[in-house]
């Protein structure tokens, strides 16, 4: 029997979609080894309202910890709350976003639990839960078992379809704030600057348009009209981010974001191993590149060998013309 605690991720008072993938993973573990799951929602003002949004997913309980001191996320303040709430649970499951990746290993250390990062599936091997996770830039998957009384897992959003609501209503209860340790006294939150965008989030978008270094300082000039036309999120290769043509959080790849949209369009991206690791689960991949030998064509469903500065505007015109039909 595995009693599971899902750590919800909030953003501006709402529940982030990645949380639903974590719930899906918890349900999968329950299918394999029985037990139930509960959800912990923690944060500043608005947390109770967010907890109310999670009562329809079949959780045994929804636990809510709302406190002004949790208003700005700091792992030093969150980890003690999660670790205390985790008492009595065997598995703590969270998101593999920048939030989960920051917080969950700290929680694991507090619980003296082993941690499996970026889990893409859970299976049973010799009676134990084995977490499947990508390694070596996605060039191998490892199945790991964790031999500690409690386990902590972060869940790769692109690999678990978001959990759908079920019938029934989970009871909500408040959990008390756990006073943080010495670390929290020595860190001060200064600011969080979030880029406001009308676009879908990179990890959640149905269509992603990504640009590479070949775009140079015309990155946005070329990519934006196409992304607008498709209602797409914008991504970038590491090389484009490194060179400063695109902001760092646009990076798709092993060390950036992992995406699996229905349509991924790679523009002027050669297809380095580390980029492919972040997008190869996309349903349909299109590559536009001048170099016919670029490795990206080896994984693209549709490849167009062309000068992107001509082909992309042409593609935008063709898409706009279709809309008018």
Partner 1 sequence: MKILVALKRVADPDNANKVRIGAGGQKIDTGNLEWKLNPFDEYALEAALRLTEDGKAPKQRLGEVVAVTLGPKEVETSLRSALATGADRAVRVEATDEQLDGRLVALALKKIVEEERPDVILMGKQAVDGDSNQVGQILAELLDYPMATFAATIEANAKGLRVSREVDGGVSVVQLALPALVTVDLRIVAPTSVYSAQTDRAFKYNDGVRFAPLPAIMAAKRKKLDTKTLAELVPNTQLTTHYVEFAPPPERRAGKKVASVAELVNKLANEAKVI
Site for partner 1 in 116-175 (CB under 8 A): 116-118, 125-126, 130, 132-148
Which residue lies nearer to partner 1 by CB, 57 or 297? 297
Give me the least distance between CB of 90 and partner 1, in Å please: 14
Among 26, 85, 209, 230, binds partner 1 (CB under 8 A): 230
Among 27, 110, 213, 275, binds partner 1 (CB under 8 A): 110
Site string for partner 1, 202-221 (x = CB under 8 A): -x---x--------------
Q: What phi-psi label fits residue 35: left (phi over 0), alpha (psi between -120 and 50 degrees) or beta?
A: left
Whose CA is closest to 37, among 86, 75, 72, 99? 86
Tokens 């990206």 found at:
296
Collapsed DSSP state (helix, strand, coil) of residue 229: helix
Using CA atoms, how far apart are residues 82 and 294, in angstroms rounded to an integer? 46
Q: Are 22 and 155 in contact (CB under 8 A)?
A: yes
Collapsed DSSP state (helix, strand, coil) of residue 12: coil
Among 1, 186, 293, 324, binds partner 1 (CB under 8 A): 186
Q: What phi-psi label fits residue 88: left (phi over 0), alpha (psi between -120 and 50 degrees) or beta?
A: left
Which residue lies nearer to partner 1 by CB, 125 or 290? 125
Give me the least distance between CB of 62 and partner 1, in Å please: 24
Site string for partner 1, 78-107 (x = CB under 8 A): -x-----------------xxx-xxxxxx-
Task: Establish if 190 lies at the interface with partner 1 (CB under 8 A).
Answer: yes
Among 108, 153, 155, 215, binds partner 1 (CB under 8 A): 108
* Burial letters 253-271, b for 16+ CB under 10 A, else e: bbebbbbbbebbbbbbbbb
Which residues in 257-296 contact partner 1 (CB under 8 A)? 257, 262-263, 272-274, 277, 280, 283-286, 292
Collapsed DSSP state (helix, strand, coil) of residue 310: helix
């Amino acid at each position: 029997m595995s009693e599971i605690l899902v750590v919800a991720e909030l953003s501006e008072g709402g529940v982030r979609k990645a949380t639903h993938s974590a719930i899906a993973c918890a349900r999968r573990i329950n299918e394999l080894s029985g037990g139930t799951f509960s959800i912990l929602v923690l944060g500043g003002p608005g947390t109770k309202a967010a907890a109310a949004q999670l009562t329809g997913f079949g959780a045994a309980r929804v636990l809510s910890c709302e406190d002004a001191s949790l208003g700005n996320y700091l792992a030093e303040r969150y980890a003690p709350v999660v670790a205390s709430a985790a008492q009595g649970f065997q598995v703590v499951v969270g998101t593999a976003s920048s939030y989960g990746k920051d917080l969950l290993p700290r929680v694991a250390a507090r619980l003296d639990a082993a941690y499996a990062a970026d889990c893409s599936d859970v299976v049973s091997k010799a009676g134990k839960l084995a977490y499947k996770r990508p390694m070596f830039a996605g060039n191998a998957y490892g199945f790991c078992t964790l031999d500690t009384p409690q386990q902590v897992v972060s869940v790769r959003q692109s690999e678990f379809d978001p959990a759908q609501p079920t019938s029934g209503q989970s009871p909500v209860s408040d959990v008390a704030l756990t006073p943080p340790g010495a670390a929290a006294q020595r860190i001060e939150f200064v600011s969080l600057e979030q880029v406001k965008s009308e676009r879908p989030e990179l990890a959640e978008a149905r269509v992603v348009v990504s640009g590479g270094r070949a775009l140079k300082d015309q990155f946005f000039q070329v990519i934006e009209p196409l992304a607008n036309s498709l209602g797409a999120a914008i991504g970038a290769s590491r090389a484009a981010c490194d060179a400063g043509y695109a902001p760092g959080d646009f990076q798709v790849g092993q060390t950036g974001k992992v995406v699996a949209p229905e349509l991924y369009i790679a523009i002027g991206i050669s297809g380095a191993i580390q980029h492919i690791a972040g997008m190869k689960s996309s349903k349909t991949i299109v590559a536009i590149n001048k170099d016919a030998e670029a490795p990206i064509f080896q994984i693209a469903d549709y490849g167009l060998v062309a000068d992107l500065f001509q082909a992309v505007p042409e593609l935008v015109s063709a898409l706009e013309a279709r809309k008018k039909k």
